[in-house]
Chains A and B, each alone.
Chain A
């Protein structure tokens, strides 16, 4: 039979397929499926804004309602990507304003977003509902005012760890009185005061508000007012959790918290006065997410809190929790899936808290569902890592940061190859790995041999030779993102595995040993890649072939080279690039 199902039926079936990967697979089955699928695709995810041209995207998928874009490489989070590198969203907004007038959702990560872009967004999409900006920069509260004023049906406005120029706290007042559709408001990263009365009125007229994350400047005394206006909240982020100790404030806060029967997630806690912590004890048993990673509370208080959170699935906390607190976590929180422990005093070698590898070992023992770990600490041993690997073969994400670069096993003084080797070998579903400490080429051999599902790998101050990089590039079948800094990797492994790079989203290498000449060669031989040399030294074009470049960012693309680069970036091997001065 030439036709199995009518189009409408197939379309209906496709509507249940939401993951990009599956959608992409569906579109490859045959021409008619490709055609049908492209008309009914509603969500697009672009992992690298320079990998594809928006015009082509709009031509292929004409009826998109939701778009997610990512710009700068991950290491930009740590200031490794110089200012001005790129990631501008404006050209994308211009195209999608033309091509998708019915667009409802925009999610951006690590992009430069200007007030102009925000204004354009606010005026171009009549049914705009969701704006999420993560790790973005380049805009001010004026841009937010435009969104507030013009997006009549806005449901979600979330700013996550963005750099926002605070011109005025009155942008919130730009939400018209008729706007009652808000479901999620996250302004936690805003540094200055917002008008509290505007906030209060907004919350009062938003019956569907489920997520509210305040910024530091909302005083503790005002929290109960907001909670009483929105007892239906599911996620709440406090402002500064510190105030003069007053029993009336404490009492109303306690009452307000206990009135929130649907509260499942808490965050905020910028600075903490311990006396006010018990005010939210009543919600602890319902909490599935708790973010105390800015909370200046000590181990006894933190222990008391986690011991009551029996349904906790996700905990973010500072190392003030110490090993004792993590032991309590292991005993009390059997549903824990994700743990992130951040350092309270990261720039000093000497420990200020009693947090060691033992805390993580305890949690790996006590929490059978633990899948995702981010752990900053000052000491680690192979034996601890092996124990963790044996306890938790179900880990999917393991990120360990030992604060001092190249720190060895603190017991045996050996490299930590065996420990991380055990992690990749036992945790067969491991998708993401970040390593630290003293590591030789051996660890990369383990990774290449066992890390078959590894999607993202972050490496710093590790390895001895190109062999290390070669193991990873040749062995990790699923690798899509590789980021490396300060490792002795040069040209050989990169050139020998050039074709691997086309199967990956991107490769970042900084402070390594890749030569200018190798970059040129790679750029010339691989038309499907943009090989960007990022180097802030003078006379970038006349660098000697053998000179190692400062930073290298290689990504696959069907959009060709970009033309919005600053003077310290070159796309190698393309016309006019590669160190050859352009002829006049």
Chain B
């Protein structure tokens, strides 16, 4: 299934529940500096390509084994990093939220209807984002949200960059997004990756 999207300004304002950034003026900053959005298409026929570029103006992307991004960034002692990864499933971050009984709240738990955060990573970008899938109701809205979130990275990239949308199923496998109905998708998705073609 091919989802092709190209947006023209002005873009619709992101629902605030999705963008939990405390950067405050993030949205406003985007609207004042961006004048165009790239064409992004999701195409299931193309092969996965693992590019490794050395430094000559672009930085080398050494993705470490667990897919967290740049090796050695942020600079945390490997012992500490391993402790954090082991203590929180799926490497979703050291989220120690507790309720009154002292039980750890798993924000990833689908039983909590209000929030369903999944981590989204884009190839070539060192740091991930989180989006609340319960605030998104269709693949269409997902792609437009992701474009808005990651546009500044794509803008600096070569023209015509295209990505395909992959997601990690709860049984661990990586699959192409768009094949199953949205309602089924949000029941099984653990995390999302935008893979460069």
Contacts and interface: CB of A to CB of B under 8 A. Distances in A.
A42 B107 CA distance: 56
A470 B97 CA distance: 47
B112 interface: no
A342 B80 contact: yes
A161 to B, nearest CB: 4
Interface residues of B, number: 46
Nearest to A485: B72
Contact of A350 (B60, B95, B130): B130
Contacts of A351: 20-23
Contact of A298 (B22, B59, B91, B97): B97
B193 to A, nearest CB: 13
Nearest to A399: B75
A566 interface: no
B99 to A, nearest CB: 10
A485 B79 CA distance: 21
Contacts of A272: 96
Interface string A340-375: 001111111111101010000000000000000000
Contacts of A413: 29
Q: Is the interface of A mostly helix, strand, loop or mixed?
A: loop
B90 to A, nearest CB: 11
Nearest to A245: B102
Interface residues of A, number: 58
Nearest to B70: A405
Nearest to A489: B55
Contacts of A245: 101-102
B96 A347 contact: no
Interface in B21-79: 21-23, 29, 54-57, 59-60, 62, 64, 68-79
Contact of B96 (A80, A163, A344, A378): A344
Interface in B134-176: none
Given A379-B23, A413-B29, A512-B55, A343 B74 contact: yes
A513 interface: yes
A193 to B, nearest CB: 15
Interface stretch (B8-16, B121-129, B177-185): B121-129
A293 B94 CA distance: 11
Contact of B127 (A77, A296, A379, A403): A403
A404 B126 contact: yes
Interface string A70-89: 00000101111000000000
A528 interface: no
Nearest to B76: A346
B98 interface: yes
B119 interface: yes
B127 to A, nearest CB: 5
B80 A513 contact: no
Interface string A304-337: 0000000000000010100000000000000000
B73 A405 contact: yes
A257 interface: no
A401 B130 contact: no
Nearest to B62: A511
B20 A345 contact: no
Nearest to A161: B79
Nearest to B66: A347
A350 B129 contact: yes
Nearest to B69: A347
23 contacts: A78-B73, A78-B75, A80-B72, A161-B77, A163-B78, A273-B102, A293-B80, A296-B96, A298-B96, A346-B74, A348-B129, A349-B127, A351-B21, A351-B22, A351-B23, A356-B22, A401-B74, A403-B127, A404-B127, A405-B126, A410-B23, A488-B55, A550-B60
Interface of A: 75, 77-80, 135, 161-163, 189, 242, 245, 271-275, 293-294, 296-298, 318, 320, 342-352, 354, 356, 376, 378-379, 401, 403-405, 410, 413, 434, 458, 460-461, 485-486, 488, 511-513, 548, 550
